[in-house]
A = this chain, B = another copy of it.
Amino acid sequence: MDIKTKIGLRIKELRTEKNLTQEAVAWNADVDRTFMNHVENGKRNVSVDTLAKIICSGLGMSFKDFFNQDLFNGKKKSK
Interface flag for A72 (CB, 8 Å): yes
Q: Which of B3, B52, B56, B68 touches A52 (beta carbons < 8 Å)?
A: B3
> Which residues of chain A in 31-64 are interfacial with respect to chain B, using CB atoms and an 8 Å cutoff?
45-49, 51-52, 56, 61-64
Contact residues of A with B, CB < 8 Å? 3-4, 7, 45-49, 51-52, 56, 61-69, 72-74
| Contact for A48 among B46, B64, B74, CB less than 8 A | B46
Residue from B4, B61, B63, B69 within 8 A of A49 (CB atoms): B4
Determine how close the nearest CB of chain B comes to the CB of A70; give it in whole angstroms: 8
Contact between A73 and B67, CB atoms less than 8 A apart = no
Question: In the complex, what residues of B have CB within 8 A of residue A62's CB?
Answer: 72-74
